[in-house]
A and B are shown apart, each in its own frame.
Chain A
Amino acid sequence: MNVTSDLETQPADQPRRKVSGPRPRPLPHKKSRQARRENLTGLLLLLPAAAVIVLLMGVPLVSVIIDSFTDRSFLSPVADFIGLENYIEVLTDDSFWSTFSRTLIWTALSVALQIVIGLAFALLLNQRFRGRGILRGVFLLPWVTPVVVVALIWKWMLNDLYGVINNLLAQVNPAWGDLAWFSDESLALWTVIGVNVWRGVPFTMIIFLAGLQSVPRELTEAAAVDGAGRLRTFANVTLPHLRGILLTVALIFTMFNFNNFDLVYLSTRGGPADRTMILPVKTYEVAFKGLQIGEAGAWAVLMLITIAILATLYFTYVRRSEKESR
C-alpha cells in the first residue's frame, strides 16, 4: 500500500501509462515523447518473439500456400505453376472425403470424451479428501508423458497375443482375448480415439478444476440452503458458471485433435487399410512418402480452410448465444 501512496505524492509528469480520470496531465509535447518511447520499448521487447513466429511460422505458411499451386516435389529442383491442378486432384481423389469425414469423427468424439471425462475428474478433485494433491499429480501423468511412450504402453497392454488387458478380457469371454485393437479394421479408429482421450483428459481436467475453484462458494451454499440437491446445484449453478471455460476448451481441443499427428502416426501410421488415416497423417505421407510437396501443400491448405471454417462457426455461435443470454 505504501507503494501507491508514494506514487500519489509524485509530480504528475512522472512516466505513466493510460492516465484515467481527471488527473493533471503533463505538457502535450512532453507526453507524446514519453508515450513514443514507451511504445518503442514495447515493440522492441516483442521483436524476438515476432522474429521467431514470422520466420518459422509466417514464412513457411506463405510458402505452403504458394507451393500448393505448383508441381514442386523432392524429386526435381524445378517447379512449375500449375494452377488448381493439385486441388482438383486431391478433391477428386477417392480417399479425400473419407479421410476428411474420418478426421471430423476423430475430432468430435475425442473432444466430447475429453470434456466429459475431464469434467468428471475435475469434480472428483474438487471434493475434499486426504491425498488430493498427490492424486492431482497422478491424474496429470498421461499428459506429461511423451506421445511415443503413450503409444508404446497401449500397444503393449492391448497386444492381441500377450497384452495384459486382453488377458483380463479373456477371463471374462475367451473371444475378447483375441481382439486386435490396433490392427482390426473395424476397431482401430475407436482404439486410437480411446488412447487419445486418455492422453488429453488431464489437460481438460486441470482447466475445469481451475474453473470449479472460481465458483463462489456462497452460490453453491445458497443453493443448498434453498434445498437444491447436489445434481441440481451442479446443473443450475456450477455448470452455467463454467460455460465460458467449456466453450474455450471446446475450441482449443477441437484444434488440438484436428491437428494431431503423432499419436495416430506412432500407433497405426493411418492403417490398417487407411482406417485411421486422418488429414495431418495424410499430408505428411504425401510430402515425405510420396515426395509431392505441391500436392501436400494442397492437403495442408484444405486443412487450414477447414480450421478457419470451424473457428468462424465457433465464434458466430458464441457471439449469438451471448446476445441471447443478455
Chain B
Amino acid sequence: MKILESKTNRRVLLLLAILAATVYSAFPFYWLFISSITAPSQLFSGALFPSAFSAESYVQLFSATPIFTWLGNSILVAVIVTALTVVVAVLGAYSLAFFPTRIGQAAGQLILFTYMFPGVVVVVPAYTLLSRLGLVDNLVGLVLVELVLTVPFCIWMLRSFFLQVPKELLEAGRIDGASRMRVLWAILLPVARPGVIAIAVFSFIFSWNEYLFPLVLINADEGKTLPLGVAGFMGNLTVQWGPLLASGVVAVIPVLVLFLFLQRHLVEGLMAGAVKG
C-alpha cells in the first residue's frame, strides 16, 4: 500500500473518508428536517435542495394529533425514570465499588447478566403483573417497568466511575466523623459528577426512545408517549408524509438538544464503561 505513505495522498484520502462518513451519518437527519419544512407541492419531487418551504406539515400535525399530550407524557416519564434511576444506581454502585461483599459481587454479576435478556421475554408477564396491580394504561406502571432497562446499565457505568476514586479519599471523610451517607453525598458524588451526569443522560435517552414497553402497556391515545404516537401515525393505512415527518422532528429534537450540551459526558461515560467495565 504505497498510496498510504505519501503525505498528500493520505490527506486527500482522509478528507474523502471524513466526507463519506459525515454524509452517511448526517444526511438522513438533514433530509428529515428539510422534508418537514418543504412545501407540500415539492414534497414528492425528490429535489435535494427544495426551493419552496412552508410550515404546513407542522400546522397539520399540531391540529390533527394530540402531539403535545404525547410530548408531555414522554417528558414526564423520562424525567421520573431518570430521577429514580440515578438514586437507585448511585446507591447500588456505591455498594458495588466500596462495600464489596460476596452476595454483593454475585448480585453485581447477575445485574450484568440481566442486561442480556430480551425485553420481549419480560413484557408479557410484566403486562400481566401490572394489570393485576391496575397499572396498565398508567404512566406509573410504565415508569416502573422502564427502570429495568436503565438501572442495570447505569449501575455498571457508574461503578467504573466510582472505582477511579481513591478509597483513601472516602476513608479520610469517615475518619473525620462523617457518616457513610454523608461521605457519599459530600465527597464521592462531587468527585464522580461526570459519571452521574452520564447515567442521567443515558436514562433519559433510553426512556425517551423506548418503544416496546409503551406499546404493550399503553392503549389510550392520551396516555401515549411520543414514539408510540408517531408509530401509530406511521402505521395508518394512508400515510400522511408531511405531518409524519414533522412528528419525527418533534421526537428527535429534545434528545438532540440534550445530546448537544451533554455529549462530552455521554461519551466519557461510554468510554469509561467500555474500557474498565
Contacts and interface: CB of A to CB of B under 8 A. Distances in A.
Whether A and B are associated in the same complex: the answer reads: yes
Contact of B123 (A43, A50, A284): A284
A121 interface: yes
A220 to B, nearest CB: 14
A168 to B, nearest CB: 8
A161 B25 CA distance: 24
B65 interface: no
A192 to B, nearest CB: 15
B31 A157 contact: yes
A229 B101 contact: no
Chain B facing A: main interface SS = helix
Given A3-B172, A146-B227, A303-B121, A38 B234 contact: no
Interface string B44-57: 11101000000000
Interface in B85-124: 87-89, 91-92, 94-96, 98-101, 103-104, 107, 110-111, 114-124
A153 B28 contact: yes
A45 interface: yes
Interface string A293-317: 1001100100110010001000000
B251 A146 contact: yes
Chain A facing B: main interface SS = helix
B172 A63 contact: no
B168 A4 contact: yes
B257 to A, nearest CB: 11
A42 B100 contact: yes
A64 interface: yes
Contacts of B151: 49, 52-53
Nearest to B169: A3
Interface in A58-110: 59-61, 63-64, 67
Given A4-B168, A42-B100, A147 B91 contact: no
Interface in A165-213: 166-167, 198, 202-203, 206-207, 209-211, 213
Given A3-B172, A49-B92, A52-B148, A141 B122 contact: no
Contact of B25 (A42, A45, A139): A139
A15 B94 CA distance: 17
A137 B264 CA distance: 9
B192 interface: no
Contacts of A213: 271
B256 A141 contact: yes
Interface string B217-254: 00000000011001100100000010011001001100
Contacts of A41: 95, 99, 180
Contact of A137 (B98, B99, B260): B260
Q: Bin chain B's interface residue count.
A: 35 or more
B263 interface: yes
A225 interface: no
B61 interface: no
Contacts of B28: 142, 153-154, 157, 198
A149 interface: yes
Contacts of B271: 206-207, 209-210, 213
A92 B4 CA distance: 56
B186 interface: no
B59 interface: no
B129 interface: yes
Interface in A27-62: 38-39, 41-50, 52-53, 56-57, 59-61
Interface of B: 1, 4-5, 14, 17-18, 21-22, 24-26, 28-29, 31-32, 35, 43-46, 48, 87-89, 91-92, 94-96, 98-101, 103-104, 107, 110-111, 114-126, 128-129, 144-145, 147-148, 151-152, 155, 166-169, 171-172, 174-175, 180, 205, 208-209, 211-212, 216, 226-227, 230-231, 234, 241, 244-245, 248, 251-252, 255-256, 259-260, 263, 266-267, 270-272, 274-275
The 6 A-B pairs at the shortest CB distance, nearest first, are namely A42-B99, A259-B118, A45-B95, A60-B125, A49-B92, A167-B46
24 contacts: A3-B169, A15-B175, A17-B99, A18-B100, A38-B101, A42-B95, A42-B104, A43-B103, A46-B92, A49-B92, A56-B126, A124-B18, A140-B266, A141-B256, A144-B209, A144-B255, A146-B208, A146-B230, A151-B234, A156-B241, A210-B275, A229-B1, A231-B4, A303-B118
Given A60-B126, A280-B119, A284-B123, 19 more contacts: A3-B168, A15-B171, A17-B99, A43-B103, A46-B96, A49-B107, A63-B125, A124-B17, A136-B267, A138-B26, A140-B266, A141-B29, A144-B255, A146-B209, A147-B211, A206-B270, A255-B115, A262-B212, A303-B121
